Chains A and B, each alone.
Chain A
């Protein structure tokens, strides 16, 4: 009886995991489906994967993948840079200003994406900027900056301020202090900000939808237009590959961090 009681949490976790991974399993299985755009199983095939890499196939899936990755890479790097600078600045403001600025950082964070997208669209039309790739990238950066600041500024708060003072006293210039003391200290925050903003940008549909002209289609936009008529199994194949890459990266990074903690234990 006791033994069974101890198993209950495990069974619960397993059930929830099955619930979460069920659609992903269905998706992966259907990426091997021979019938196009169908829920009906038509036999096993690898042709979805093969044709994905055989160059242009007329569907433009690879083009929009590249576009999405490009936008996400620019948006995550730029917003993290802005995030590092701004959260450093915010930490040195007086208390009252700090509270005000942080509140204004929270506001876009809780606004629904739909309203954010519309507000950026109104902003661009107010400023007289035509919808283009530029507005797409700008809106993604503007979306990501608050998230970057919210993941970096706790790390700056945790940082020992006497470290920077010591560095300055010992003759380091402001830039050297930033490069040699502050950046290494807040590195975990920077990495998580990069990851978070990249994910936000890659997965975003609502904001892109309002801020781009019809010549550019990001992957989520393509998926949404497909999902109504029937998704090309190539898309399933592509997503399966992306999922595998993320999964392997996760496992690898986890293994290396596991090794590190073990080493630390040995040293102590």
Chain B
């Protein structure tokens, strides 16, 4: 008998073990404290269902006196339901080896365990929300925000474990064979939840605001703020221009982003080219040098920007060096002069995004067959022609994904201009952030509209870049 059971356990599938483990944990969790009671934002006690039934009366001293809590009627009810569910699930899943021979019985077993697990989670959630009754709140003169229960770490663990157990039971119940295709479906749900739904929400919230009585109502308040007929005078390249308030902010961000992209391309392409040709000649010397160019990515961008400020500031490193060598009489105001400050900002942004340009171009260049350029040289093209007619067109996908990786983030990455200019240069990122985190809901609305416009702008730019080359993007994942 025992030997027979042993051999049956040996051939038990993995998901049955997972199911048994989940059932065991769901039973044990009755005795594990996982409900945390908060009175006036202070955690006063950890409960398990078991301790709750042992001491349904609870009196706690808090700063403003004492609170009397009575879980009596509640505790008995949930305890009985939970223990029935947990014991049933445990019995059914532990006895799995005994009915595993019959296909029909197995199916019934799996599905009833699944149903019990789902019920267990529902009861757990109901317990969590129902533990503090209105009567308890009223009799202690508290508000629901000041008397509440949350689940602790053990509660989170229970939810996850039982969920996994339910998935295992479903898997067994449907009699699925391990088919890797199945793994794609949870990811499709994930995409819907974390990609498609947020995009829809951005679109939706640009036009609708939360109404006072609940629900949503149509509004154009955000558009009104953004396109208000209000002009400001700013300096661009030394010229004073009067523009619509937010258009000038957009223009400045665009200006920064374009020059950053150009700077990265001009400085980064030769680097990628040299490294790639080295990597082809001597094995791995180029790729090891590449690491040196990528390493600064592990250093926080904002600290590096701050260091640049230390370098360029009035009393900073560069000015100290220049004055001590008697090259200038008075320190140069790199960050106070409008034109110089713009140049310095673009330079620092270029410095920050350079690795993102070098990497994709390198990864495309290094794959280009060396014999192609040899053939071109043999056929009478000179070096410049070989580069412009053969190498550069072939490396175009890398350039496209490099531009994509530099231009898009630099458009909204407001921290660099902000830190460098001590907040005197507002870019589009700042504006969105200030709108969204603003207390006023009309400004929030404007932030939603602005992020929608930004999203549309980015997607259009993306589409244009993608249209240039179908394979773009694959180079960008060399990271």
Contacts and interface: CB of A to CB of B under 8 A. Distances in A.
Interface of A: 9, 12-13, 16-17, 19-24, 26-27, 30, 39-41, 82, 85-86, 88-93, 97, 101, 104-108, 110-116, 118-123, 126, 142, 145, 149-151, 154, 173-175, 177-178, 192, 196, 199, 203, 205-206, 209-210, 219-220, 223-224, 227-228, 231, 235-236, 239, 242-243, 246-247, 250, 254, 258, 261
A4 to B, nearest CB: 16
B451 A114 contact: yes
Given A92-B179, A114-B412, A119 B201 contact: yes
Contacts of B250: none
Contacts, number: 230
Interface string B407-423: 01101111100110011
18 contacts: A22-B311, A26-B317, A27-B299, A39-B316, A92-B179, A93-B184, A114-B454, A118-B436, A118-B451, A119-B198, A119-B199, A121-B436, A219-B300, A223-B306, A227-B419, A235-B303, A239-B300, A261-B284
Contacts of A104: 191, 195-196
Contacts of B303: 27, 223, 227, 231, 235-236, 239
A175 B180 CA distance: 10
A73 to B, nearest CB: 16
A85 B477 contact: no
A223 B197 contact: no
Contact of A151 (B284, B409, B479): B479
A242 B298 contact: yes
Contacts of B408: 110-112
A115 B202 contact: yes
Contacts of B415: 205, 224, 227
A101 B296 CA distance: 33
B412 A112 contact: yes
Given A20-B351, A101-B187, A142-B194, A89 B201 contact: no
B289 interface: yes
A68 to B, nearest CB: 10
Name, among B195, B315, B433, the residue most crowded by chain A CB atoms within 10 Å (CB to CB): B195
Name, among A16, A151, A205, the residue most crowded by chain B CB atoms within 10 Å (CB to CB): A16
B183 A89 contact: yes
A236 B414 CA distance: 22
Interface of B: 14, 177-188, 190-191, 193-199, 201-202, 205, 267, 270-271, 274-275, 283-284, 288-289, 291-293, 295-311, 313, 315-317, 320, 351, 354-355, 404, 408-409, 411-415, 418-419, 422-423, 429, 432-433, 436-437, 447-448, 451, 454-455, 458, 462, 473-474, 477, 479
A82 B193 CA distance: 14
B295 A246 contact: yes
B36 to A, nearest CB: 14
Contacts of B310: 26, 30, 39
Given A86-B186, A101-B187, A114 B293 contact: no
A173 B178 contact: yes
B400 to A, nearest CB: 12
Contact of A27 (B267, B295, B307, B418): B307
B186 A258 contact: no
A26 B205 contact: no
Contacts of A120: 194, 198
Contact of B288 (A26, A118, A254): A254
A118 B205 CA distance: 11
Given A82-B190, A89-B184, A112-B409, A205 B302 contact: yes
Contacts of B193: 123
A23 B297 contact: no
Contact of A86 (B190, B199, B297): B190
Nearest to B298: A246
Contacts of A26: 307-308, 310-311, 317
Nearest to A225: B302
A26 B296 CA distance: 13
Contacts of B283: 261
Given A82-B187, A228-B418, 8 more contacts: A27-B306, A89-B181, A110-B408, A111-B408, A114-B429, A199-B298, A203-B300, A206-B412
Which 3 pairs of residues, A with B, have the shortest CB-CB distance? A174-B178, A89-B184, A89-B183
A86 B184 contact: yes
A162 B301 CA distance: 45
Nearest to A29: B317
Nearest to B270: A12
A40 B187 contact: no
A145 B188 CA distance: 12
Contacts of A145: 190, 194
A80 B302 CA distance: 27
Contacts of B284: 258, 261
Nearest to B474: A154
B458 A110 contact: yes
Name, among B191, B306, B309, B473, the residue most crowded by chain A CB atoms within 10 Å (CB to CB): B306
Contacts of A39: 309-310, 313, 315-317
A113 B351 contact: no
Name, among B199, B297, B313, B414, the residue most crowded by chain A CB atoms within 10 Å (CB to CB): B199
A75 to B, nearest CB: 13
Nearest to A28: B307
Contacts of A228: 418-419, 422-423
B111 to A, nearest CB: 22
Contacts of A22: 311, 351
Contacts of B432: 114, 118
B293 A227 contact: no
Contacts of B447: 118
Contacts of A254: 288, 291
A122 B201 contact: yes
